[in-house]
Amino acid sequence: IEPPRDEVFADLTSDLRNGSVTPVLIGAAENGNGVLRLLKTIRHDAPGIPETCQRIGLNGANATVTQVIKTIHTAHGGKLSVARVLSGSLKDGDELYGADENAMRVSGLYRLVGHEQTKLGDAATGETVALGKLEDAHTGDVLSTTKGTRTEIVPTTPPAPVYSIAL
């Protein structure tokens, strides 16, 4: 008995969002092989912001909460903290507070496309943006617009490797 196609895809999407399965995609970006499949997988199967907030324990966050996912040092612009807005919205000039509760003013909000930076006025929930000159922010930090509300994200532990090889 062959199961209905839409039921199979719904189950796979649900398992992927729950972290039960991990897709393995093979491609070669230099030749464009597999790039379209990767983009479709990200668009259709990757968890959205509500699912991500539930998984990391940010249910009902009233303040703007961002997580720094990468730190870049540019030749002319200085330090850029690439962050994802997990809740709320962020504007250029907003003050953010980390675990030490020191205020850091966002002096530049950018969208990155390769090496090109496009200045933004604001960023909504779910957007990944670069924040300019947050000297006290480090990769992995959780930043919020509300002082005194220490926001903790449930750490994720990667699964044990199933297969490894060394060359």
HEC sequence for the chain: CCCCHHHHHHHHHHHHHHCCCCCCCCCECCCCECHHHHHHHHHHHCCCHHHHHHHHCCCCCCCCEEEEEEEEEECCCEEEEEEEEEECCEECCCEEECCCCCEEECCCEEEEECCEEEECCEECCCCEEEEECCCCCCCCCEEECCCCCCCCCCCCCCCCCCCCCCC
Q: What percent of the chain has pLDDT over 90?
A: 39
- Give the pLDDT of residue 149: 63
- Give pLDDT, residue 61: 63
How far apart (Å, rounded) are the C-alpha atoms in residues 40 and 25?
Answer: 11
pLDDT band at 121 (very low <50, low <70, confident <90, very high): very high
pLDDT band of 91, cuts 50, 70, 90: very high
pLDDT in tens, 18-43: 778 888 899 998 888 999 999 998 88
Buried/exposed code over 152-167 (b: 16+ C-beta within 10 A; e: otherwise): ebeeeeeeeeeeeeee
* pLDDT grade for 109, boundaries at 50, 70 and 90: very high
The overall pTM is greater than 0.85:
no
pLDDT digits (tens, 9 = 90+) for 40-58: 988 887 778 887 787 777 7
Rounded to an integer, what distance in angstroms lies between the CA atom of residue 42 and that of residue 137?
Answer: 28
Q: Above 90 in pLDDT, residue 151? A: no
Instruction: Return the bridge partners of 71, or none.
Output: 81
Which domains can be identified in the chain, with CATH numbers?
5-46 (no CATH), 61-144 (2.40.30.10)
pLDDT band at 122 (very low <50, low <70, confident <90, very high): very high
